[in-house]
Amino acid sequence: MKINRISLKFSNAFLVSDRRSVLVDCGCQSDRIFLEQSLTRLGIRPQDIAALILTHVHFDHCGCASYLQAAGVPVIASSVAAKFLQQGEQEGKSILKAGSKLPFIGRMLGEQARFPPVHADVLVESVLDLGDFGVEGEVRVSAGHTAGSVSVMLDKKQACVGDLMMGGYLGLPPAWQPNFHPLSSDNSEALSQIIAMRESGTEKFCVGHGEVLLARDVDRWIDSQLKGKKR
Protein backbone atom coordinates (compact mmCIF):
# COMPACT_ATOMS: atom_id res chain seq x y z
CA MET A 1 0.00 0.00 0.00
CA LYS A 2 1.22 3.49 -0.82
CA ILE A 3 -0.07 6.76 0.63
CA ASN A 4 0.77 9.97 -1.25
CA ARG A 5 0.18 13.31 0.41
CA ILE A 6 -1.11 15.99 -1.96
CA SER A 7 -0.43 19.35 -0.37
CA LEU A 8 -3.17 21.77 -1.45
CA LYS A 9 -3.76 25.47 -0.77
CA PHE A 10 -5.15 25.11 2.77
CA SER A 11 -5.10 21.38 3.43
CA ASN A 12 -3.82 17.91 2.50
CA ALA A 13 -5.51 15.26 0.40
CA PHE A 14 -4.17 11.68 0.42
CA LEU A 15 -4.13 9.25 -2.47
CA VAL A 16 -4.16 5.74 -1.01
CA SER A 17 -3.13 3.11 -3.55
CA ASP A 18 -3.57 -0.59 -2.89
CA ARG A 19 -5.25 -2.98 -5.37
CA ARG A 20 -7.13 0.19 -6.36
CA SER A 21 -6.83 3.85 -5.29
CA VAL A 22 -9.06 5.90 -3.04
CA LEU A 23 -8.71 9.62 -2.35
CA VAL A 24 -9.13 10.96 1.18
CA ASP A 25 -10.41 14.58 1.10
CA CYS A 26 -10.12 16.91 -1.86
CA GLY A 27 -9.26 20.47 -0.78
CA CYS A 28 -11.31 23.55 -1.57
CA GLN A 29 -13.05 24.39 -4.85
CA SER A 30 -10.14 26.44 -6.15
CA ASP A 31 -7.75 23.46 -5.71
CA ARG A 32 -9.39 21.60 -8.61
CA ILE A 33 -6.78 22.15 -11.32
CA PHE A 34 -3.82 21.56 -9.01
CA LEU A 35 -5.50 18.42 -7.61
CA GLU A 36 -6.07 17.08 -11.11
CA GLN A 37 -2.44 17.80 -12.08
CA SER A 38 -1.20 16.10 -8.91
CA LEU A 39 -3.27 13.00 -9.67
CA THR A 40 -1.90 12.94 -13.24
CA ARG A 41 1.64 13.13 -11.83
CA LEU A 42 0.79 10.13 -9.64
CA GLY A 43 -0.40 8.31 -12.76
CA ILE A 44 -4.11 8.35 -12.03
CA ARG A 45 -7.12 9.91 -13.77
CA PRO A 46 -10.07 11.07 -11.66
CA GLN A 47 -12.31 8.37 -13.20
CA ASP A 48 -9.88 5.67 -12.00
CA ILE A 49 -10.39 6.56 -8.32
CA ALA A 50 -12.49 3.87 -6.63
CA ALA A 51 -13.93 6.28 -4.03
CA LEU A 52 -13.55 9.71 -2.48
CA ILE A 53 -13.72 9.56 1.32
CA LEU A 54 -14.59 12.84 3.04
CA THR A 55 -13.24 12.98 6.59
CA HIS A 56 -15.70 15.81 7.34
CA VAL A 57 -17.65 18.61 5.72
CA HIS A 58 -15.48 21.72 5.85
CA PHE A 59 -14.85 23.70 2.65
CA ASP A 60 -11.09 22.98 2.68
CA HIS A 61 -11.71 19.20 2.63
CA CYS A 62 -14.76 18.70 0.40
CA GLY A 63 -14.50 21.52 -2.17
CA CYS A 64 -13.83 19.26 -5.19
CA ALA A 65 -16.28 16.49 -4.20
CA SER A 66 -18.94 17.56 -6.68
CA TYR A 67 -16.39 17.72 -9.52
CA LEU A 68 -15.01 14.25 -8.71
CA GLN A 69 -18.47 12.78 -8.36
CA ALA A 70 -19.36 14.14 -11.80
CA ALA A 71 -16.25 12.31 -13.10
CA GLY A 72 -17.78 9.08 -11.76
CA VAL A 73 -16.12 8.80 -8.33
CA PRO A 74 -18.47 7.57 -5.57
CA VAL A 75 -18.43 9.79 -2.48
CA ILE A 76 -18.22 8.23 1.00
CA ALA A 77 -19.17 10.23 4.12
CA SER A 78 -20.71 9.56 7.50
CA SER A 79 -24.48 9.74 7.60
CA VAL A 80 -24.20 12.73 9.97
CA ALA A 81 -21.82 14.60 7.63
CA ALA A 82 -23.87 13.69 4.54
CA LYS A 83 -26.79 15.85 5.74
CA PHE A 84 -24.54 18.92 5.73
CA LEU A 85 -22.86 17.93 2.48
CA GLN A 86 -26.20 17.72 0.74
CA GLN A 87 -27.06 21.28 1.83
CA GLY A 88 -23.67 22.71 0.89
CA GLU A 89 -23.34 23.67 4.54
CA GLN A 90 -20.36 23.26 6.90
CA GLU A 91 -20.52 20.95 9.92
CA GLY A 92 -20.04 22.16 13.50
CA LYS A 93 -17.66 25.05 14.06
CA SER A 94 -16.19 26.45 10.88
CA ILE A 95 -14.10 29.35 9.78
CA LEU A 96 -17.13 30.73 7.94
CA LYS A 97 -19.21 30.83 11.11
CA ALA A 98 -16.21 32.35 12.90
CA GLY A 99 -15.97 34.64 9.85
CA SER A 100 -19.36 36.18 10.55
CA LYS A 101 -17.78 37.61 13.72
CA LEU A 102 -14.56 38.43 11.92
CA PRO A 103 -15.83 39.72 8.56
CA PHE A 104 -12.31 40.15 7.12
CA ILE A 105 -11.82 36.35 7.19
CA GLY A 106 -15.05 35.83 5.27
CA ARG A 107 -14.01 38.49 2.72
CA MET A 108 -10.50 37.10 2.40
CA LEU A 109 -11.74 33.56 1.69
CA GLY A 110 -14.74 34.72 -0.36
CA GLU A 111 -16.15 32.14 -2.77
CA GLN A 112 -13.40 29.59 -2.07
CA ALA A 113 -14.93 28.98 1.34
CA ARG A 114 -18.10 27.60 -0.25
CA PHE A 115 -18.62 24.25 -1.91
CA PRO A 116 -21.23 22.82 -4.25
CA PRO A 117 -23.74 20.51 -2.48
CA VAL A 118 -23.15 16.78 -2.97
CA HIS A 119 -25.37 13.78 -2.32
CA ALA A 120 -23.10 11.12 -0.74
CA ASP A 121 -23.20 7.73 -2.53
CA VAL A 122 -22.12 5.57 0.43
CA LEU A 123 -22.99 6.38 4.04
CA VAL A 124 -20.93 5.28 7.03
CA GLU A 125 -23.01 4.59 10.15
CA SER A 126 -20.11 3.35 12.28
CA VAL A 127 -17.62 1.24 10.25
CA LEU A 128 -17.27 0.62 6.50
CA ASP A 129 -14.86 -1.99 5.12
CA LEU A 130 -12.93 -0.68 2.09
CA GLY A 131 -12.36 -4.15 0.60
CA ASP A 132 -15.03 -3.51 -2.06
CA PHE A 133 -13.06 -0.41 -3.11
CA GLY A 134 -9.81 -2.36 -3.50
CA VAL A 135 -8.13 -1.10 -0.34
CA GLU A 136 -7.20 -3.00 2.83
CA GLY A 137 -8.69 -0.83 5.52
CA GLU A 138 -11.85 0.69 6.89
CA VAL A 139 -13.61 3.98 7.41
CA ARG A 140 -14.62 4.60 11.02
CA VAL A 141 -16.77 7.30 12.54
CA SER A 142 -14.43 9.26 14.85
CA ALA A 143 -16.20 12.30 16.28
CA GLY A 144 -14.26 15.13 17.89
CA HIS A 145 -13.37 17.64 15.20
CA THR A 146 -17.02 17.51 14.12
CA ALA A 147 -19.75 15.11 15.24
CA GLY A 148 -19.77 13.45 11.80
CA SER A 149 -16.01 13.11 11.25
CA VAL A 150 -14.56 9.82 10.03
CA SER A 151 -11.03 8.41 9.96
CA VAL A 152 -9.58 5.96 7.45
CA MET A 153 -7.68 3.12 9.16
CA LEU A 154 -5.18 1.51 6.79
CA ASP A 155 -3.16 -1.72 7.01
CA LYS A 156 -3.32 -1.54 10.84
CA LYS A 157 -0.47 0.99 11.15
CA GLN A 158 -1.53 4.15 9.33
CA ALA A 159 -4.57 6.37 9.57
CA CYS A 160 -5.96 9.39 7.73
CA VAL A 161 -7.61 11.34 10.53
CA GLY A 162 -8.76 14.56 8.84
CA ASP A 163 -8.74 17.40 11.37
CA LEU A 164 -8.99 15.23 14.51
CA MET A 165 -5.42 16.46 15.05
CA MET A 166 -3.21 18.73 12.96
CA GLY A 167 0.45 19.55 12.42
CA GLY A 168 1.62 23.04 13.41
CA TYR A 169 -0.91 25.54 14.67
CA LEU A 170 -2.97 27.75 12.36
CA GLY A 171 -0.55 26.71 9.65
CA LEU A 172 2.47 27.82 11.68
CA PRO A 173 5.51 25.54 11.96
CA PRO A 174 6.73 23.13 13.16
CA ALA A 175 4.52 21.12 10.82
CA TRP A 176 5.44 17.85 12.62
CA GLN A 177 4.09 19.09 15.98
CA PRO A 178 0.67 17.60 16.86
CA ASN A 179 -2.06 20.03 17.94
CA PHE A 180 -5.80 20.25 18.18
CA HIS A 181 -7.45 21.97 15.24
CA PRO A 182 -8.60 25.42 16.48
CA LEU A 183 -12.15 24.84 15.20
CA SER A 184 -12.80 21.42 16.72
CA SER A 185 -16.12 20.94 18.46
CA ASP A 186 -14.82 18.57 21.18
CA ASN A 187 -11.08 18.38 21.93
CA SER A 188 -11.32 15.77 24.69
CA GLU A 189 -13.29 13.47 22.37
CA ALA A 190 -10.68 14.07 19.64
CA LEU A 191 -7.90 13.21 22.11
CA SER A 192 -9.58 9.94 23.17
CA GLN A 193 -9.90 8.91 19.51
CA ILE A 194 -6.18 9.50 18.96
CA ILE A 195 -5.30 7.60 22.16
CA ALA A 196 -7.46 4.66 21.03
CA MET A 197 -5.70 4.64 17.64
CA ARG A 198 -2.27 4.60 19.32
CA GLU A 199 -3.43 1.74 21.56
CA SER A 200 -4.52 -0.24 18.49
CA GLY A 201 -1.07 0.23 16.92
CA THR A 202 -1.42 3.24 14.58
CA GLU A 203 2.04 4.72 13.99
CA LYS A 204 1.55 7.27 11.23
CA PHE A 205 -1.17 9.89 11.28
CA CYS A 206 -2.01 11.51 7.94
CA VAL A 207 -3.54 14.81 9.03
CA GLY A 208 -5.50 17.45 7.14
CA HIS A 209 -2.94 20.20 7.81
CA GLY A 210 0.84 20.01 8.26
CA GLU A 211 3.04 16.97 7.81
CA VAL A 212 2.29 13.31 8.50
CA LEU A 213 2.59 12.96 12.30
CA LEU A 214 4.68 10.18 13.83
CA ALA A 215 4.00 8.01 16.90
CA ARG A 216 6.80 9.46 19.07
CA ASP A 217 5.63 13.07 18.57
CA VAL A 218 1.99 12.06 19.02
CA ASP A 219 2.81 10.19 22.27
CA ARG A 220 4.66 13.19 23.67
CA TRP A 221 1.71 15.42 22.81
CA ILE A 222 -0.81 12.97 24.34
CA ASP A 223 1.27 12.93 27.58
CA SER A 224 1.40 16.72 27.75
CA GLN A 225 -2.37 16.95 27.17
CA LEU A 226 -3.10 14.37 29.89
CA LYS A 227 -0.78 16.14 32.35
CA GLY A 228 -2.45 19.47 31.55
CA LYS A 229 -5.84 17.91 32.32
CA LYS A 230 -4.76 16.69 35.77
CA ARG A 231 -3.50 20.11 36.84
* Of the candidates 217, 219, 207, the residue with the CA atom closest to the CA atom of residue 160: 207
The residue (of 39 and 113) whose beta carbon lies closer to Zn ion is 113
Considering only the stretches 16-24, 25-33, 57-65, 118-126, report the one whose residues sit in contact with Zn ion under the rule CB under 5 A.
57-65
Strands 51-53, 21-24: pairing is parallel
Among positive and negative, which fits the CA dihedral 24, 30, 36, 38? negative
Considering only residues 32, 58, 140, 209, which one is a binding residue for Zn ion as defined by CB under 5 A?
A: 58
- Span 134-173, contacts to Zn ion by CB under 5 A: 163
The residue (of 20 and 83) whose beta carbon lies closer to Zn ion is 83
Specify the 3-state DSSP secondary structure of 231: coil
Considering only the stretches 44-52, 53-61, 95-103, 112-120, report the one whose residues sit in contact with Zn ion under the rule CB under 5 A.
53-61
Task: Kindly state the smallest distance separating residue 182's Cβ from Zn ion, in Å.
Answer: 10
Task: Kindly state the smallest distance separating residue 164's Cβ from Zn ion, in Å.
Answer: 9
Task: Evaluate whether 154 touches 3 at the Cβ level (below 8 Å).
Answer: yes
The residue (of 140 and 145) whose beta carbon lies closer to Zn ion is 145
209: contact with Zn ion by CB under 5 A: no
- Tell me the number of residues near Zn ion by CB under 5 A: 2
- 27 — phi, psi (to 5°)? 65, -165
Considering only the stretches 37-45, 51-59, 81-89, 106-114, report the one whose residues sit in contact with Zn ion under the rule CB under 5 A.
51-59
How far from 175 is each of 5, 124, 206, 207, CA to CA, in Å? 14, 30, 12, 10
The residue (of 90 and 158) whose beta carbon lies closer to Zn ion is 90
The residue (of 50 and 76) whose beta carbon lies closer to Zn ion is 76
The residue (of 50 and 95) whose beta carbon lies closer to Zn ion is 95
Task: Kindly state the smallest distance separating residue 181's Cβ from Zn ion, in Å.
Answer: 6
The helices-and-strands tally (H runs, E runs) of the chain is 8, 14
Task: Kindly state the smallest distance separating residue 208's Cβ from Zn ion, in Å.
Answer: 6
Q: Return d(Cα 133, Cα 153) in angstroms, integer.
A: 14
Q: Return d(Cα 207, Cα 201) in angstroms, integer.
A: 17
Task: Evaluate whether 205 touches 165 at the Cβ level (below 8 Å).
Answer: yes
- Chain residues that interact with Zn ion, rule: CB under 5 A: 58, 163
